[in-house]
Amino acid sequence: MAKSKFEYVRNFETDDTCLRNCYIVVRLDGRNFHKFAEQHKFSKPNDNRALGLMTRSARSVMEELEDIVIAYGQSDEFSFVFKRTSTWFKRRASKLMTHVASQFSSSFVFYWKEFFGEQPLLYPPGFDGRVVLYPSNRNLRDYLSWRQADCHINNLYNTVFWTLVQKGGLTTVQAEDRLKGTLAAGKNEILFSEFDINYNNEPVLHRKGTTLIWEKREETVTKSMKLPNEEEKDVAVTRRRKTVEAHHCDIIGDQFWEKHPDILEDDTC
Amino acid sequence: MAKSKFEYVRNFETDDTCLRNCYIVVRLDGRNFHKFAEQHKFSKPNDNRALGLMTRSARSVMEELEDIVIAYGQSDEFSFVFKRTSTWFKRRASKLMTHVASQFSSSFVFYWKEFFGEQPLLYPPGFDGRVVLYPSNRNLRDYLSWRQADCHINNLYNTVFWTLVQKGGLTTVQAEDRLKGTLAAGKNEILFSEFDINYNNEPVLHRKGTTLIWEKREETVTKSMKLPNEEEKDVAVTRRRKTVEAHHCDIIGDQFWEKHPDILEDDTC
Amino acid sequence: MAKSKFEYVRNFETDDTCLRNCYIVVRLDGRNFHKFAEQHKFSKPNDNRALGLMTRSARSVMEELEDIVIAYGQSDEFSFVFKRTSTWFKRRASKLMTHVASQFSSSFVFYWKEFFGEQPLLYPPGFDGRVVLYPSNRNLRDYLSWRQADCHINNLYNTVFWTLVQKGGLTTVQAEDRLKGTLAAGKNEILFSEFDINYNNEPVLHRKGTTLIWEKREETVTKSMKLPNEEEKDVAVTRRRKTVEAHHCDIIGDQFWEKHPDILEDDTC
Amino acid sequence: MAKSKFEYVRNFETDDTCLRNCYIVVRLDGRNFHKFAEQHKFSKPNDNRALGLMTRSARSVMEELEDIVIAYGQSDEFSFVFKRTSTWFKRRASKLMTHVASQFSSSFVFYWKEFFGEQPLLYPPGFDGRVVLYPSNRNLRDYLSWRQADCHINNLYNTVFWTLVQKGGLTTVQAEDRLKGTLAAGKNEILFSEFDINYNNEPVLHRKGTTLIWEKREETVTKSMKLPNEEEKDVAVTRRRKTVEAHHCDIIGDQFWEKHPDILEDDTC
């Protein structure tokens, strides 16, 4: 039962260290979530309980892996960005992505009740992930812009599609036909002229997705203190804490990044 | 909001296809499970509820990913072996390992209650994973032997250690000192002469870990059938089904493999 | 001028160790050899001087890197196979392929004169290379068969094409048109019925390419020895030496491999 | 002889595309050049013929692969830097490094005579190579600084060492002992006080190595032209051409880079 005789098998492991000085992005995607959504009666086009649970799970990942500087989610996907200089898991890609996938998935089941109440989770869901590296701030921002543009395109489509079905009385096949070949302007027009809906007034959560970042918070807590030769008394103490905060805003333009200059590191390093 | 302008970022993804004609092993390890075990009051040296839950979660992974031909688990780790010729996820390493990690983790929380009853899960646990390739049957068997030898070495140590503490009244520090430098024979001797325990009679689940394989089962089910011009009647129908079965036996020697010749593919392919 | 301040850049190197227990194949291909052949007036369809020089350069590589167990070349390409268990360069892919490419290229220029005599080499030629891993003997043999089948297909085409041009008086465009859509049988037929050429009697060097392997040779050398109390006298001494030998035979079938059982290692290792 | 039956072996090739938007550095190192230098009687501590040949070979590589924006060489090594946005060979690492290694090696033999005249090259030399990626201008400059600092450290050592041997009459063992533990200042002092040599007056080629870059040159050539209804006459025509130019200067400080702003691309892309 000598272990040493077999230990040579360890040498078959390969090193998958991520290139230094690059942002490490781990993106998770739900597996068969179309079916999952149907079986769990998600409301259409967006289910706020599901979106809340995704965000809660992503927050759990960020709190576990502090080197994640920003996360962005929409629909059944979430992207996590590790800072350029992170040495978490010695930058081993496999460890980083499996830990994120694992923590997200266990959290999804763990927090289910908080969002779906008594509606039972029918089976344990699956997510798959990948790692992508981005060498510059521009590349990283373009990645996040790509995902947010994807959110917009899908949400506009889904909003019109389900409005045609739910309010317009079309079948799903008819709605699909109606939208074939339409551009953004055409879809906005259908919503506005036929259903009196201004797409820009739709919830930002649905239009912009969810961006999680670390923010410093000042908290004032009351502590009872007793100084020498004095009576005990209540004192207000101010603490600074970093917490994960959610934003539902545009991250394609410069404004968000100018307001939060600490997220990205300097390109010239 | 043109998506196309940003889509170039897709080209930063790298191809991580696993070499063909090799077994793909995904191994998961619990993160901070020492602390997790303490916080959830796992019994020592082995907690059958936890082992049962690990196995249940592994079974859930195998049922989801049918190309896994064998899985082996012990303590807080589980290894999953994809068949040599698997084309699951186009053999992309990242997809394979994240899906396994995700499915295992969501199952771990989902099935918690089945094994721990009313004892609550305090927080969502995390696992990390890795992928290793093995080109030959010998290499793969040596990998599994390595893990089972590890199981044996750890379980023997833990059994003596906790017997010294729980029955011998030693502190954990004293027990550690007592075992320093002892070989397997010495540990067996302590158990036998001082506590009248024959290690070989300890539960196989603890000594050998858990091996999961697919087995063909014949089931006889009763169906009511109605042939033309006849009355409806009950008929016994025999179906063959593949199910995941657990074994707690030696997988280092040849016997297990001779009994289950379908697990491994031919080396000469 | 402190070196240490900059040395962090070493950590950007990645590990590209080849998976253990796999054959490592390095294939080189001439760059722009169509143009190179024209500028150096290679005879068509095959130039024996060029083929000789390719083989001489490959032999130089094998003599430098003894873990290469077999090499196969045709036209302007050569493949080198490192044994499964090789630890040359710690199996680092980049080192293996660049050393092979470098040694081959410097040899090509170094030995030019031996094959081309006074005809000058006009400029230093370039080759590019790649590494491919094969886990089983079957895979490796299929790789070599693929290259030899390629040799056959190209040589048959080129033989007919240049016969049509050189003996049939066709222009290259007419010859190309004539061959469009023809199968092997059709090409053989043109050669036989129109030019009285039996393709199977063409030189094996052209039809089968060149296979280099290590062979043990017995050499008898005469040494003058002087034993105590005896006169010096000449003694025949037999030495065994491994030398690189060239073969021009079929390597797709089993015969070659049965005759040289030492080339491949056992699959069951 | 069906090729298709074997063609599946192509799928064993792996994709080794270099991450986008990173500088690709290929570094070559001479193999066993200590022995090569001795056998070819290189002068010590530096052989200008050998350094000239290295630079000539590197120039040949740059002229072949235009996406190389800068190359730096010293002793028996040369580094080649491909621009961040290069798509040469689709950024395939194996192709890039083998082509560089091949072109350099064939050039080394091809141009030998230009530098060594009638002294024969005894055997074809070998170089090995590697690829390293650098995401930022700072990283790349630090890489080049690392190599130039290495040049300085080695050249200072070698200069003192061989002065002690050649002029001081020490054996190599004595010289080694003498230098053990000395710092840069101590070595400079030995040169200055014992041999009246100011290290800073040593040739820049030896102290700084060789940097190759592309520079735009204006050339005035005389062409004979004939306009309609005019006599033929000679006309001076100015052409701009890019040529590879050698520098032997400091590349650690900013001056070189400010003078040649076109070498590096913008970090904020």
What pLDDT score does D228 carry? 77
Task: Name the residue among A22, A133, A136 with its Cβ closest to that of D267.
Answer: A136
* Shortest Cα–Cα distance, C30 to chain B (Å): 26
pLDDT bucket at A38, cuts 50 / 70 / 90: very high
Residue with the larger pLDDT of the pair A255 and C236: A255
* Shortest Cα–Cα distance, A100 to chain D (Å): 23
Question: Cβ contact (<8 Å) for C124 and D139?
Answer: no
Inter-residue contact D142 to D251 (CB < 8 Å): no
Residues of chain A with Cβ-Cβ distance to D137 below 8 Å are 268
* Cα Rg of chain A, angstroms: 23
Residue with the larger pLDDT of the pair B258 and D226: B258
Average pLDDT of the residues in B219-243: 83
Residue B16 annotated as part of some ligand binding site: no
Residue B34 annotated as part of some ligand binding site: yes
What pLDDT score does C221 carry? 81
- If you average pLDDT over every residue of chain A, what do you get? 95
Question: Cβ contact (<8 Å) for A153 and B9?
Answer: no
Closest CA to C269 of B141, B204, A223, A46: B141
> Is pLDDT above 80 for A82?
yes
Q: Which residues of A touch D (CB under 8 A)?
A: 19-22, 133-139, 267-269
Residues of chain C with Cβ-Cβ distance to A15 below 8 Å are 14-15, 17
- If you average pLDDT over every residue of chain B, what do you get? 95
B231: left (phi over 0), alpha (psi -120 to 50) or beta: beta
D72 membership: H or E segment, kind and range: strand D68-74
Question: Cβ contact (<8 Å) for B14 and D11?
Answer: no
What pLDDT score does C222 carry? 82
> Is pLDDT above 70 for A20?
yes
Cα angle A229, A230, A232; round to 5: 135
Residues of chain A with Cβ-Cβ distance to C17 below 8 Å are 14-15
* Shortest Cα–Cα distance, A207 to chain D (Å): 28
Task: Name the residue among D102, D109, D139 with its Cβ closest to that of C128.
Answer: D102
Q: pLDDT > 70: what percent of chain B? A: 99
> Is pLDDT above 60 for B139?
yes
pLDDT tens track of chain D, all 269 residues?
566 899 999 999 999 999 999 999 999 999 999 999 999 999 999 999 999 999 999 999 999 999 999 999 999 999 999 999 999 999 999 999 999 999 999 999 999 999 999 999 999 999 999 999 999 999 999 999 999 999 999 999 999 999 999 999 999 999 999 999 999 999 999 999 999 999 999 999 999 999 999 999 888 888 887 777 777 888 888 888 899 999 999 999 999 999 999 999 888 77
Residues of chain A with Cβ-Cβ distance to C14 below 8 Å are 15, 17, 19
Nearest-Cα residue of chain C relative to residue A10: C20
Task: Name the residue among D134, D136, D269 with its Cβ closest to that of A138.
Answer: D269
Distance CA A177, CA C50 (A): 64
Distance CA B134, CA B146 (A): 13
> Is pLDDT above 70 for B1?
no
Nearest-Cα residue of chain A relative to residue C20: A12
Q: How would DSSP label each residue in chain A?
A: --STTTGGGGGG----BPPTTSEEEEEEEESSHHHHHHHTT--SS--HHHHHHHHHHHHHHHHH-TTEEEEEEETTEEEEEE-TT--GGGGBHHHHHHHHHHHHHHHHHHTHHHHHTTSPP-S---EEEEEEEE-SHHHHHHHHHHHHHHHHHHHHHHHHHHHHHHTT---HHHHHHHHTT--HHHHHHIIIIIH---GGGS-HHHHH-EEEEEEEEEEEEEEEE--TTS--EEEEEEEEEEEEEEE-S--SSSHHHHH-TTSSPPTT-
> Is pLDDT above 70 for B2?
no
Residue C145 annotated as part of some ligand binding site: no
What pLDDT score does A2 carry? 65
Neighbouring subunits of D (3+ Cβ pairs under 8 A): A, B, C
Stretch among A230-239, B82-91, C9-18, C203-212 having the lowest mean pLDDT: A230-239
Average pLDDT of the residues in A242-264: 97
What pLDDT score does D88 carry? 96
Q: Domains of chain A, with CATH numbers?
A: 16-145 (3.30.70.3000)
Q: Which residues of A touch C (CB under 8 A)?
A: 11-12, 14-15, 17, 19-21
Question: Cβ contact (<8 Å) for A15 and C19?
Answer: no
pLDDT bucket at A222, cuts 50 / 70 / 90: confident
What pLDDT score does A1 carry? 56
* D155-200 pLDDT tens trace: 999 999 999 999 999 999 999 999 999 999 999 999 999 999 999 9
Residue C167, classed as helix, strand or coil, is coil
Residue C91, classed as helix, strand or coil, is helix
What pLDDT score does B149 carry? 97
What pLDDT score does B235 carry? 84
Task: Name the residue among C7, C124, C150 with its Cβ closest to that of D3.
Answer: C150
Eight-state DSSP code of residue D235: E
Question: Cβ contact (<8 Å) for C6 and D184?
Answer: no
Residue C254 annotated as part of some ligand binding site: no
What pLDDT score does B214 carry? 97
Distance CA A106, CA A109 (A): 5
Pair of tokens at residue B183 = 């070989």
Token look-up 């086009």 returns A45
What pLDDT score does C269 carry? 75
* B51-78 pLDDT tens trace: 999 999 999 999 999 999 999 999 999 9
Residues of chain D with Cβ-Cβ distance to B21 below 8 Å are 12
What pLDDT score does C214 carry? 97
Residue C145 phi/psi, 5° resolution? -65, -40
Q: pLDDT > 90: what percent of chain A? A: 87
Task: Name the residue among D133, D137, D268 with its Cβ closest to that of A19.
Answer: D133
- Number of neighbours of residue B245 by Cβ within 10 angstroms: 14
Residue B32 annotated as part of some ligand binding site: yes
The residues of chain C scoring below 70 in pLDDT are: 1-3
> Is pLDDT above 80 for B227?
no
Task: Name the residue among A12, A13, A109 with its Cβ closest to that of B109.
Answer: A109
